[in-house]
Chains A and B, each alone.
Chain A
Amino acid sequence: MTNHWVDIKNADLVLIMGGNAAEAHPCGFKWVTEAKAHNKARLIVVDPRFTRSASVADVYVPIRTGTDIAFLGAVMNYLLTEDKIQHEYVKNYTDMSFIVREDFTFADGLYSGYNADKHSYDKASWDYETGADGYVKVDPELKHPRCVYQLMKQHYTRYTPEMVERVCGTPREKFLQVCEMIGSTATPTRAMTVMYALGWTQHSVGSQMIRAGAMMQLLLGNIGIAGGGMNALRGHSNIQGLTDLGLMSNLLPGYLTLPGEKEQDYDKYIAARAFKPLRPNQLSYWQNYNKFYVSLMKAWWGDAATADNHWGYDYLPKLDKSYDMLQAFELMNQGKVNGFICQGFNPLAAAPNKGKMNAALAQLKFLVVMDPLATETSEFWRNFGEHNDVDSARIATEVFRLPTTCFAEEDGALVNSGRWLQWHWKGADPPGTARSDLQIMAELFTRLRAIYKSEGGAYPDPIVNLSWPYVVPTSPSPEELAKEYSGRALKDLTDPKNPAQVTRKAGEQLAGFAELRDDGSTLSGCWIYCGAWGPGGNLMARRDNSDPTGIGQTLNWAFAWPANRRVLYNRASCDANGKPFDPARKLIAWNGAAWGGADVPDYKVDEEPALGMGPFIMNADGVGRFFARAAMAEGPFPEHYEPFETPLASNPFSPGKAETLNNPAARVFKDDRAAFGKADQFPHVATTYRLTEHFHFWTQHSRLNAIVQPQQFVEIGEKLARELGIADGEQVKVSSNRGYIKAVAVVTKRLRTLTVDGKPLHTVGIPLHAGFTGLTKPGFLTNTLTPVVGDANSQTPESKSFLVKVEKV
């Protein structure tokens, strides 16, 4: 989230799209009801299904799954043509006036630099034009034909209400009603928040859907203000923490990135990430990359990380390709993976195409499952009849199950959607022989290290030199680790302006990342968390909910990264002179000498507003970008592409071109492509989702959850049910080209038949919680049906949009 849960109460308009907050985040959804009840806010829900969120919405708008860019592109077109944009904001705080290179082009659904064989782009032309002074050229008048404003306007002229009706199946008048409501927030005193979740991320164009939403918010001046923002609702209690700590295959903690195999040179690695400002007097905070990197390396390798060995740069793996989930299971399926430590993950249930997962796991020599529950993955080899019809005798994988504690049986911090690190205390001892993940990993590590120490190996240095200063090496405490990721001084730190002045003594915890150094004198395991355990102690454990300004800025409750800042980009809530656009929702302001207020300023704290530093300090240009430059895989502006399994034969936005039917930059493995289904055999579109009553594949093991939602079902519209002669409560079979499931039919008005490209189209809704272990009635894993293709940037699988056929059993 750019903002946080409580802040949603400040919104005048709430758009839930690509998510179902009431269903999947009922506790956070409280703040939507607060906004409605106490701020007269209106709620819009755009979704293929009439959801629990829609049940309390002022306006519900149906949309075909996977077509959100068509919808949002048309909203932007409306805002631009009807002049519903916040001019002062857009003029000062975005790249609208920036001029783009002459060789950048877009035609027939493709951007310049496309390589059809590799399904990827050479992105050199996707950039701004630089002047003789080394800075990006701008046209403040926005007249230049290649300025971002003109290019963007041109790009979205094709996105009309008629196209929305044709592509999304959304009735025109409903679409225009929504546009009008959204447009009303272009004034500085009205705020719209956007709440989204996996309904946007789980598409082959998911990242661009989110970008389209963010661009809409920029046009309206809704980023950086109270009650606004782009708010990703994280689906696990600590999934925000997972990405923050760099548990993606290409990341290091704090959104630092692992080097690629071509980046053998340390200085070049740093230089490519410490962006120089693209416009005069811009902060470009990533210029401090080296300080974050060196402090991380000191946390990991301690004294072994020195200036001489580039702080352990050679210890880091250099990626030849991304090792995301889809890639890893593809390699496993090819027999290229021997062992798999599966920690807090149930991929047989959670990854796409269960049939492929079954085959891949059977290729392993060993599988270690660390989990509090007997997951489906740990039982993949066992025959559960139709629900998991495998031949156990032919599976040689040796499976080890290591029972772990669950969240309530351990201390530690969880990071919520609003970036708050909230410390929690264990409520009970674990049952039986369960141990914490920490203990298990530490035990594994210390034993491996002993083997490397005694027997050596190809390159034992990164393992034997790993810093492991914990009191009990086989059981590091959560407190020790928290202090480490927050960070401390390794030597006495002195004031650069007055070297006699010691600002931080050796061994002291640091107050924030501004204290980090690139000379090895500081340590921080995750720079964005720096200060969470500061000199004053554990700020994550704070529970003071006092809210002096009344807008939900509880700065003494827990710790929000970065720097306890609650609303990112909050400088943009003020005009160019530093006055709040909306005094009733003041976050920060310039008082003539410094910035301050109800939040920690996301800005240089003593920077005079007149000097023109932009509010988006993490961007080298200091502004919010409509034009993504080379940051995205498929292009600088979001463009609509069909899901990989689409009911349409051609992309209505670039008709007749096979290569632009789907995302041209998506990576698809050969066998997975062959497993895609076609609309003539599988005529209905399907989407998967959660139910309030369950959490993934855990709570089927809990009796209370099983009582309130006991059995697998699929939702089908009344029209489709009539066509197929299916009555409410009857069993149906739903098949894709990869397998089938059987479930109870819930026949509903809430899934309506859409008219798409002139033809009726039925949507089938498939909740994902069923499994063959637990207390609920045994069921089929929903991912039996889903295709293996990911978003071109994040490789998040396209679980929200695929083709199926429904039959009566």
Chain B
Amino acid sequence: MPLQSLDIVRRSATTTPEPGVRRAYTGTVAKLIDTTKCIGCKACQVACMEWNDLRDEVGTNFGSYQNPADLSDRSWTLMRFTEYENPKGDLEWLIRKDGCMHCADPGCLKACPSPGAIVQYANGIVDFQEENCIGCGYCVTGCPFDIPRISKRDRKAYKCTLCSDRVAVGMEPACIKACPTGALVFGTKEDMREHAAERIEDLKSRGFDKAGLYDPPGVGGTHVMYVLHHADQPALYAGLAPDPHISPLVRLWKGRAKPLSLAIMALTALAGFFHFVRVGRNEVDEQDEEAARRSLAAGGKPEMRP
């Protein structure tokens, strides 16, 4: 990989070590979504569709400003709108841009059984390599934020790439560029945490005592973070996970169960070997050859006897 920011540090279902000479000395990147500056204009949604050349269906309105109705293989980001009446009796319209959080410890990558279908770059971006995707959907189960979607057309998994193609050449993701209010900002994770701290101070001066940064430790932190007015209640924001973790099943599968499953696989191979030694190979007799000749002459596929 010639682009060092796209150096791969982790690859799904792969045990060979990744190159480690270069290690993101400039720090990892992060997108900061300031929900308190967001006006829900959806410019980010449109920019995402334009840059990634995606066009979802023209859907219907289901009684909300939220459109399309959900994330999909062609909608990688989405504004989710929540009306919340605070204890003072004042209304708040909480608007959250939903999409991949680019976890430092990505559940999708952990769960993925297909070598190289999901990779994590040195800059922190978690990317899907659809050509390696087998469409099993384990990434969907593995994701604590319910982000990946399996396409009905090609049975492959899709999600936000954090515009890894743009970031690799020193540009900000398309959504950041389109945001008119500066609710979306992009930079090193360290800078974004600093920027968030300033924003939180401002919010506290406006009476949001619980304003804070969402960078959940349960997934090792994320490379997409939120500034929330109510950091103590992330679930207010259209069900943002309060304390996300990789699903116990995935951890079991890739953790303690892994040696066991490897043992079972080894055992299966061993059983095959002994079967071969004991029974020998499956040989073709004259009757099989005759059946195949007949079938080919009739233009069909060769019949196989069980």
Instruction: Give residues in A with beta carbon < 8 Å to B.
Output: 22-23, 26-27, 29-30, 33-34, 36-37, 40, 42, 50, 52-56, 58, 60, 692-693, 703-713, 727-730, 744-750, 752, 775-777
- What CA separation (Å) do A745 and B63 show in the bound complex? 6
Which of B42, B75, B181 lies in contact with A33, CB distance below 8 A?
A: B181
Is B60 touching A711 in the complex (CB atoms < 8 A)?
yes
Q: Is residue B41 within 8 Å, beta carbon to beta carbon, of the partner chain?
A: yes
Is A55 touching B39 in the complex (CB atoms < 8 A)?
yes
Contacts of B206 in A (CB 8 A): 42, 58
Is B55 touching A703 in the complex (CB atoms < 8 A)?
yes
Q: Which of B60, B61, B67 has the most CB of A within 10 A?
A: B61
Is B61 touching A693 in the complex (CB atoms < 8 A)?
no
> B54 → chain A, closest Cβ, in Å?
9
Which of A30, A42, A55, A752 lies in contact with B182, CB distance below 8 A?
A: A30
Which of B43, B61, B63 lies in contact with A710, CB distance below 8 A?
A: B61
Closest residue of B by beta carbon distance from A776: B58
Is A728 touching B67 in the complex (CB atoms < 8 A)?
no
Besides A22-B41, A744-B60, 6 other A-B contacts (C-beta < 8 A): A50-B93, A692-B39, A707-B68, A709-B61, A713-B63, A730-B63
Is A729 touching B61 in the complex (CB atoms < 8 A)?
yes
Which of A22, A27, A708 lies in contact with B46, CB distance below 8 A?
A: A708
Contacts of A693 in B (CB 8 A): 41-42, 67
Say whether, besides A704-B49, A707-B68, A710-B58, A692 and B41 are in contact (CB < 8 Å): yes
Is B58 touching A29 in the complex (CB atoms < 8 A)?
no
Is B92 touching A744 in the complex (CB atoms < 8 A)?
no
> B85 → chain A, closest Cβ, in Å?
6
- By Cβ-Cβ distance, the 4 closest A-B pairs, closest first, are A729-B63, A728-B63, A55-B93, A22-B39
Q: Is residue B180 within 8 Å, beta carbon to beta carbon, of the partner chain?
A: yes
Q: Which residues of chain B from 14 to 68 have a CB within 8 Å of any chain A CB?
A: 36-43, 45-46, 49-50, 55-65, 67-68
- What CA separation (Å) do A220 and B85 show in the bound complex? 34
Contact with A along B80-91 (1 / 0, CB 8 A): 000101000011
Is A710 touching B60 in the complex (CB atoms < 8 A)?
yes
Is B90 touching A60 in the complex (CB atoms < 8 A)?
yes
Contacts of A749 in B (CB 8 A): 83, 85, 91
Is B93 touching A708 in the complex (CB atoms < 8 A)?
no
Contacts of A750 in B (CB 8 A): 83, 91, 93
> B9 → chain A, closest Cβ, in Å?
35
Q: Which residues of chain B from 134 to 190 have a CB within 8 Å of any chain A CB?
A: 180-183
Contacts of A712 in B (CB 8 A): 61
- What CA separation (Å) do A286 and B58 show in the bound complex? 54
- What CA separation (Å) do A29 and B56 show in the bound complex? 28
Is B40 touching A746 in the complex (CB atoms < 8 A)?
no
Is B49 touching A707 in the complex (CB atoms < 8 A)?
yes
- What CA separation (Å) do A33 and B92 show in the bound complex? 17
Closest residue of B by beta carbon distance from A32: B181
Is A30 touching B180 in the complex (CB atoms < 8 A)?
yes
Is A37 touching B63 in the complex (CB atoms < 8 A)?
no
- What CA separation (Å) do A501 and B45 show in the bound complex? 62
- What CA separation (Å) do A23 and B58 show in the bound complex? 21
Closest residue of B by beta carbon distance from A20: B39
- What CA separation (Å) do A7 and B57 show in the bound complex? 40
Q: Is residue B202 within 8 Å, beta carbon to beta carbon, of the partner chain?
A: yes
Say whether, besides A711-B60, A776-B58, A56 and B37 are in contact (CB < 8 Å): yes
Instruction: Give residues in B with beta carbon < 8 Å to A.
Output: 36-43, 45-46, 49-50, 55-65, 67-68, 75, 83, 85, 90-95, 180-183, 199, 202, 205-206
Contacts of A729 in B (CB 8 A): 61-64
> A377 → chain B, closest Cβ, in Å?
23
> A707 → chain B, closest Cβ, in Å?
5
- What CA separation (Å) do A752 and B63 show in the bound complex? 17
- What CA separation (Å) do A710 and B181 show in the bound complex? 24
Say whether, besides A60-B90, A749-B85, A692 and B95 are in contact (CB < 8 Å): no
Is B67 touching A707 in the complex (CB atoms < 8 A)?
yes
Is A707 touching B39 in the complex (CB atoms < 8 A)?
no
> A461 → chain B, closest Cβ, in Å?
51
Say whether, besides A29-B181, A37-B37, A54-B93, A707 and B62 are in contact (CB < 8 Å): no
Is A707 touching B56 in the complex (CB atoms < 8 A)?
yes
Is B67 touching A53 in the complex (CB atoms < 8 A)?
no
Is B85 touching A33 in the complex (CB atoms < 8 A)?
no
Is A703 touching B65 in the complex (CB atoms < 8 A)?
no
Is B93 touching A775 in the complex (CB atoms < 8 A)?
no
- What CA separation (Å) do A52 and B62 show in the bound complex? 19
Is B40 touching A708 in the complex (CB atoms < 8 A)?
no
Is A26 touching B43 in the complex (CB atoms < 8 A)?
yes
Contacts of A711 in B (CB 8 A): 59-61
Which of B38, B41, B60, B91 lies in contact with A50, CB distance below 8 A?
A: B91
Contacts of A707 in B (CB 8 A): 49, 55-59, 67-68, 75
Is A55 touching B58 in the complex (CB atoms < 8 A)?
no
> A792 → chain B, closest Cβ, in Å?
34
Is B40 touching A33 in the complex (CB atoms < 8 A)?
no
Q: Which of A36, A58, A707, A729 has the most CB of B within 10 A?
A: A707
- What CA separation (Å) do A777 and B49 show in the bound complex? 20
- What CA separation (Å) do A705 and B43 show in the bound complex? 10
Contacts of A26 in B (CB 8 A): 39, 41, 43, 180-181
> A482 → chain B, closest Cβ, in Å?
29
- What CA separation (Å) do A748 and B59 show in the bound complex? 21
> A175 → chain B, closest Cβ, in Å?
15
Is B59 touching A55 in the complex (CB atoms < 8 A)?
no
- What CA separation (Å) do A58 and B90 show in the bound complex? 11
Say whether, besides A33-B181, A50-B93, A692 and B40 are in contact (CB < 8 Å): yes
> B108 → chain A, closest Cβ, in Å?
26
Contacts of A60 in B (CB 8 A): 90-91
- What CA separation (Å) do A693 and B40 show in the bound complex? 10
- What CA separation (Å) do A711 and B60 show in the bound complex? 6
Contacts of A727 in B (CB 8 A): 63
Which of B45, B90, B91, B181 lies in contact with A708, CB distance below 8 A?
A: B45
Is A52 touching B182 in the complex (CB atoms < 8 A)?
no
Contacts of B94 in A (CB 8 A): 55
Can you list 16 A-B contacts with CB-CB less than 8 angstroms, sorted by A residue number? Answer: A22-B181, A26-B39, A33-B37, A37-B182, A42-B206, A56-B181, A692-B40, A703-B58, A704-B50, A707-B55, A707-B56, A708-B45, A708-B46, A710-B60, A729-B62, A777-B58
Contacts of B182 in A (CB 8 A): 30, 33-34, 37
Closest residue of B by beta carbon distance from A709: B67
> A455 → chain B, closest Cβ, in Å?
53
- What CA separation (Å) do A729 and B180 show in the bound complex? 30
Which of B36, B75, B83, B181 lies in contact with A748, CB distance below 8 A?
A: B83
Closest residue of A by beta carbon distance from B43: A26
Closest residue of B by beta carbon distance from A692: B41
Is B93 touching A29 in the complex (CB atoms < 8 A)?
no
- What CA separation (Å) do A23 and B90 show in the bound complex? 21
Contacts of B41 in A (CB 8 A): 22-23, 26, 52, 692-693
- What CA separation (Å) do A26 and B49 show in the bound complex? 19
Is B63 touching A53 in the complex (CB atoms < 8 A)?
no
> A241 → chain B, closest Cβ, in Å?
23
Which of B39, B59, B205 lies in contact with A52, CB distance below 8 A?
A: B39
Contacts of A36 in B (CB 8 A): 202
- What CA separation (Å) do A784 and B181 show in the bound complex? 35
Contacts of B90 in A (CB 8 A): 60
- What CA separation (Å) do A33 and B34 show in the bound complex? 12
Say whether, besides A704-B49, A710-B61, A55 and B40 are in contact (CB < 8 Å): yes
Contacts of B85 in A (CB 8 A): 749
Is A29 touching B180 in the complex (CB atoms < 8 A)?
yes
- What CA separation (Å) do A708 and B50 show in the bound complex? 13
